[in-house]
A and B are shown apart, each in its own frame.
Chain A
Amino acid sequence: MKQHDFETHYGPFWSEFSALLDQLDALRQRQPLPPLEQFAADYRRLCHQLALARQRGYSPRLVEQLNQLVLRGHRQLHRDRAPLLPRIGVFLAEEFPRAVRRQWRWQLAAALAFLIPLVAAWLAVWLSPSMAQMMLGSQADAIEMMYADREQLRSAGDDVMMFGYYIFNNISIAFRTFAGGVFFGIGALIVMVFNGGFFGAVSGHIVNANLTESFFTFVIAHGAPELTAIVLAGGAGLRLGLSLLAPGPLSRADAFRRAADDSLPIIWGAFALLLLAAFMEAFWSPRQFDPAIKYGVGALSWLSLYAYLLLAGRERTRE
């Protein structure tokens, strides 16, 4: 069959199929579907025609036209349209804590990279207060000012502004930490060490300045999701970077891709935790209550978070 006859014979079929694809491409969720009983069979016919066109040396224009049509059909056939809400539920109930436990080695390494500089800086500042100026520079006084006068009232507008700021700032840091891990984990490690050291130095400085209560009543509750999420992002970044250094039995490209796949639930989870942390930090932490209440809520926050990460989504052993 010559190309022209081929085109005239199948042309109407192609434009029909193309119109159906246009309809499917423009489809929104919840709209009724056009009749699809023939779709798979038509798609297979199209694949066959593409193969014929190649085999018979038909012109590149025709082959490209069919190729695009098959590609569009392929995308419709293999698209992933699972509804989002139930997936989020399953993710939070099971996938996220499981992913964290699956990566416990990297997460532990990230936590240590965060905690060791934290403790070291805290001790250093606590033992010799002049270290604070060295480590924090001019920020030392600003931080002191911030917590010296917590009695001033904040307006609702301030709360929303801070909420926006915490989302913008903290979540961007978590995302960059993860991405920085690509460079053999170094980027993620730097963020862990730097943030741990900074937080330790601030804490030591606050203790020296006798502002312990106003500082810790502020940070304790939201600190649980916030610090945990940053460490989780760091751990995921380490996992990503070390897959390039030590790919194991896989090729580096495959190991890298698998590491990204493996870390992704942690990134979504860190994102969720940081949203929660931003909400708490903006709307709960600045409220003035009795320190006992604040510490109580803080303890509850840490306990429930770690109970969730360590226990949620475990398979029950069958009796």
Chain B
Amino acid sequence: MQIDDRLALTTPEGATLTLLPAGPLPRMVAYGVDLVIRLMVFLCLLYVLSELAELGQGLLLILVFGLEWFYPVLFEVLWRGQTPGKRLLGLAVVQDNGAPVTYSSSLVRNLLRTADMFPGLYLAGFLCMISDRRFRRIGDLAAGTLVIHQPAVTATAPGASGAAELPPDWELDATDRLTLTAYLDRLPLLSSARQAELAAPLFPELSPLEAADRLAAQARFVRGQP
């Protein structure tokens, strides 16, 4: 079943956690969102502080410095690994053991952004990212951090109750059970034509629509009725 780039971690408690490292595209978009936010903050500051002449200019420079170097660090440490852009895209920064980022590792990954940007448009970082199995850029390699997807999971089981269930007519192993329950998870997303197409080869003696009903009923038997 493992055809994606999930990363399995073993915690000290012996549990296996899976993380889904995020690739260049969502991270690029998140960076763009942050860039726009920083730009807007900068323009607001410019507008407010220009009232204050030299004093305002000094404060402005200090705040610009903060926006450039510490905006990502403070957000990542204080906001569970997410800058506003990452939050919007459902991404988060974690240490590569799954623990939250610390000030030190966040500072390293954000300082080395300069190296990732070299020679322009994040070329070095991009090359590093696509040649690493976990999509780490140079800063992530140095800091030992990862950017992962943090999907919002639905807490309640989908599926109508009272639908027919039928014991499968073959001996199930764990993979079969997983396949059937996964199929049931995805059922609401599949059109009835696609359901029929998937089920037809399994029950060649039935019409495609009957086959789809049979398969769903067997899957419901495996999961137990909601």
A interface residues (Cβ-Cβ under 8 A, vs B): 2-5, 7, 14-15, 18, 25, 43-44, 46-48, 50-51, 54-62, 64-65, 67-68, 70-71, 74-75, 78-80, 155-165, 167-168, 171-172, 175-176, 178-180, 182-183, 187, 240, 253, 256-257, 259-260, 264, 267-268
Known interface pairs A51-B15, A79-B99, A260-B143. Does A161 touch B174 (Cβ–Cβ under 8 Å)?
no
Docked complex Cα distance between A61 and B185 (Å)? 7
Docked complex Cα distance between A60 and B155 (Å)? 12
A residues within 8 A CB of B112?
179, 182, 260
Contact assessment for B55 and A157 in the assembled complex, using a CB-CB cutoff below 8 Å: yes
- Count of chain B residues near A, Cβ 8 A: 62
Known interface pairs A3-B222, A165-B61, A179-B113. Does A59 touch B178 (Cβ–Cβ under 8 Å)?
yes
Task: Select B59's contact among A2, A5, A160, A268, beta carbons within 8 Å.
Answer: A160
Task: Select B185's contact among A5, A14, A60, A157, beta carbons within 8 Å.
Answer: A60
Known interface pairs A158-B54, A162-B58. Does A2 touch B223 (Cβ–Cβ under 8 Å)?
yes
Cβ of B177 < 8 Å from any Cβ of A? yes
Contact assessment for A182 and B115 in the assembled complex, using a CB-CB cutoff below 8 Å: yes
Contact assessment for B115 and A183 in the assembled complex, using a CB-CB cutoff below 8 Å: yes
Binds A, one of B23-31, B62-70, B200-208: B62-70
Contact assessment for A2 and B222 in the assembled complex, using a CB-CB cutoff below 8 Å: yes
Cβ of B104 < 8 Å from any Cβ of A? yes
A residues within 8 A CB of B102?
80
Of all A-B residue pairs in the complex, the 10 with the closest CB atoms, nearest first, are A4-B224, A2-B224, A57-B177, A59-B181, A164-B61, A164-B58, A47-B15, A157-B54, A179-B114, A160-B58
| Shortest Cβ distance from A72 into B: residue | B80
Contact assessment for B100 and A75 in the assembled complex, using a CB-CB cutoff below 8 Å: yes
Docked complex Cα distance between A25 and B143 (Å)? 23
User: Beta-carbon contacts of B133-171 to A below 8 Å, as 1s and 0s?
Assistant: 000001001111000001101110100000000000000
| Shortest Cβ distance from B221 into A: residue | A2
Contact assessment for B175 and A175 in the assembled complex, using a CB-CB cutoff below 8 Å: no
A residues within 8 A CB of B17?
67, 70-71, 74
B residues within 8 A CB of A14?
155
B residues within 8 A CB of A5?
224
Cβ of B129 < 8 Å from any Cβ of A? no
Task: Select B223's contact among A4, A44, A164, beta carbons within 8 Å.
Answer: A4
| Shortest Cβ distance from B18 into A: residue | A67
A residues within 8 A CB of B51?
none
